[in-house]
């Protein structure tokens, strides 16, 4: 099993980082926090997180999936071309990519929503539609390897869907008989 990339930048939405971070750890997954630079980022409400890795040092092939939280962070993330490139490469490699709230902004910048059905925070609905996606207002939408949600209240459905999708992709261990 490879780790899960959790992308961050300044003004991330606190719950949309910390809920997935701890939920993935509870599920036995390693989480690598990746930011534009290897530094500490303040959240929307002031709670900091430190990026373990700078995006320039991250390789999409090293991860089973990517989580993109919301808040204002995706607007900062998409200003860094390597963030969009990382998401685009992860998508091309068939990795799971999950974005919540304003997170689909980075999906739009990566050019991976055309022809997909997604949801997001209503304020960026026009952005995902203009990027070629079909918008629906649901707590979680899975379209192939893309998983999207609207807001913090959707986190339980978002993470349940992400973890189920990860489980589908994991090889079943062979049974060993010792008789």
Q: Domain 4-169 - what CATH class? A: alpha beta
Q: 61, exposed or middle or buried, with CB in 10 Å at 0-12, 13-18, 19+?
A: exposed
Distance CA 110, CA 113 (A): 8
Query: Is 3:31 a contact under the CB 8 Å cutoff?
Result: yes
Render pLDDT for 136-176 as a digit per residue (tens, 0 to 9): 999 999 999 999 999 999 999 999 999 999 999 876 554 45
What pairs with residue 147 in β-bridges?
98, 142
Render pLDDT for 3-58 as a digit per residue (tens, 0 to 9): 999 999 999 999 999 999 999 999 999 999 999 999 999 999 989 999 999 999 99
Render pLDDT for 99-137 as a digit per residue (tens, 0 to 9): 999 999 999 999 999 999 999 999 999 999 999 999 999
Token pair 């997909």 in the structure block, residue: 116
Token pair 């959790």 in the structure block, residue: 6
Q: Which of 88, 91, 102, 151 is catalytic?
A: 102
For the chain, which residues make up each domain, given as ranges? Answer: 4-169
Compute the mean pLDDT over every residue in the chain, rounded to the nearest whole number: 95
Please indicate whether residue 102 is annotated as part of the active site.
yes
């Amino acid at each position: 099993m490879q780790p899960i990339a959790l992308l961050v930048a300044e003004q991330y939405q606190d719950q949309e980082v910390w809920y997935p971070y701890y939920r993935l750890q509870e599920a036995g997954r390693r989480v690598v926090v990746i930011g534009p630079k290897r530094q500490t980022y303040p959240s929307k409400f002031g709670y900091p997180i430190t990026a373990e890795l700078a995006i320039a040092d991250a390789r999409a092939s090293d991860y089973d999936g990517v989580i993109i939280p919301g808040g204002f962070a995706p607007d900062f993330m998409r200003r860094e071309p390597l963030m969009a490139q990382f998401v685009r490469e992860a998508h091309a490699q068939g990795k799971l990519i999950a974005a919540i709230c304003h997170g689909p902004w980075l999906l739009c910048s990566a050019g991976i929503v055309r022809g997909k059905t997604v949801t997001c925070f209503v304020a960026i609905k026009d952005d995902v539609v203009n990027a070629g996606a079909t918008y629906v207002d649901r707590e979680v939408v899975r379209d192939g390897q893309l998983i999207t949600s609207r807001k913090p209240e959707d986190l339980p459905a978002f993470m349940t869907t992400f973890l189920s999708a990860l489980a589908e992709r994991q090889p079943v261990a062979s049974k060993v008989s010792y008789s």
